[in-house]
Amino acid sequence: MNIFLLLAYSLLPGLAKIIGNQNPMLLNIPLLFVLFYTNQKKINWRPVDKYVLTFILYSIFISIVAIMFLPSAPITVFMGIYMFVIPMTGYFFSYLIDLEEVLKSLKLIAVIHVFFAIFIYPLTPWYPYIAGFSELFRSGVFGERMTSMSGSLGFASLTLICFTCLFFNSKSVKDILILIISAVGLVFAQQRGAWLGAIIVLVVNVLEKIKTGRLKIKESTISRGFLLVVFAGILIGSGVFKIESLMDRYQDQFGEQAMVERGDQWEGGFDNLVKYPLGTGVGQVGQISRIGTWFGSPYRPCPDGDYPHIISETGVLGMLFLFFLFGTAGLIFFYSKFENKTVKTGFFVFLGLCMQMIGSNVTEFYFVNFLYWMFIGYMLSDIQYPNGKMVIK
């Protein structure tokens, strides 16, 4: 049941595009209710949960304040609550759904989304016959980037999550093949932030093994690498995927223009924070804001970068909450032996997405945002507070 519900959640943007309106996106709310109903169990609340709950409630509170007293667009506030706040419930679903259940779902989700992305990819020989259908999903997608239901950026975030999960939890040849499929989507989505996230995950994994003295070259690692090389050779030789298009992403001095644009948005985010330290309300400076407030808005837009977007919309408290998450993740890395698979997977998914969030608006893709918060829950699942002191078990 969980597999079906999470898969349906991930496919809602595609249904909306086929129908031609956004109403099907609202189906995620009854889906979440059903997901909750089918996974009810006793919850042992942890002290760490109060920080997450405070951030969620404050995000709603400052948004109500924004509607009443700040120059905000109500439609973007409500969309911000829907796209940014409601998916935060994923944190509490990490109590209800075991990691193994989520991994089963992500395997199917990865296969379906990547193969659909290949099906509508413009370099395939059958593309001329399905161009009209493909454009429903590729509208607004730049060049030869691979995309599935919700644009190349959301697709890159989803495949980064699947790649990271399967990298640490591959148990069979089937799992390794799905890992490779996820890697294909991750690479050809051509999102540099997601590439950086995957690279950091791999590098920090090596550092963690050095720290714990468990750095060994296993047969499974060699077999994965061999399969990746063979599969990459087949893809390149087929001509369906052009390496030139990937290399083009590193023109302009390895993305200097993109770095300048992101720098401007970071500057804008801190400018918003200084002028509105309590926050502007959700939906006011990110991608969503283009619908109602980009033109004539007193806020500086931050459409490409979650951190300036979050600190702009939720103010000083949002910034402190980010520091809390980063600090806790750092403590987990230095003090945990990562013997708990749930904590380890949650940590590395969080790490990969955090790197992508430097230049991308990951938290405005509502299914990816739901997974992001769910894996934060997994990362924090083993933190205890005996005698009022935080202990990483």
The string of pLDDT tens digits covering residues 339-359 is 888 999 999 999 999 999 988
Contact indicator for 194, 46 with CB cutoff of 8 Å: no
The pTM for the full model equals 0.88
Please answer whether residues 139 and 316 qualify as being in contact, where contact means their C-beta atoms are separated by less than 8 angstroms. Answer: no
The C-alpha atoms of residue 308 and residue 35 are separated, in whole angstroms, by 32
Amino acid at 179: L
Checking if the pLDDT of 33 tops 80, the result is yes
DSSP 26: G
**Rounded distance between C-alpha atoms, residue 301 and residue 285, angstroms:** 5
Residue 169 confidence (pLDDT)? 87
Is pLDDT at 320 greater than 90 in this prediction? Answer: yes
CA distance 364 to 387: 38
Q: What is the mean pLDDT of residues 157-166?
A: 93
State mean pLDDT over 22-29: 81
Give yes or no for residue 272 having a pLDDT over 80. Answer: yes
Q: Are 179 and 167 spatial neighbours (Cβ–Cβ below 8 Å)?
A: yes
The answer to whether the CB of 53 falls within 8 A of the CB of 377 is no
The token pair that represents 36 in the structure block: 């909750």
Instruction: Give the pLDDT of residue 363.
Output: 80
Averaged pLDDT, 103-129:
89
Residue 370 has pLDDT above 90, yes or no: yes
Which residues are registered as beta bridge partners of 392? 383
Confidence of residue 376 (pLDDT cuts 50, 70, 90): very high
Structure tokens given for 100 = 């193994």
Residue 12 pLDDT > 60, yes or no? yes
Nearest one of 342, 351, 347, 375 to 90, comparing CA atoms: 375
> Mean of the pLDDT values across residues 127-151?
83
Whether pLDDT at 21 is above 80: no
Query: What is the residue-averaged pLDDT of the chain?
Result: 82
Both tokens of residue 337?
């032996």
What is the spatial distance between Cα 229 and Cα 251, in angstroms, rounded to a whole number? 25
Looking at residues 267-296, what average pLDDT do you find? 80
pLDDT at residue 253 in the model: 43
Report in angstroms the alpha-carbon separations of 201 from 111, 115, 191, 313, 353: 21, 24, 16, 28, 10
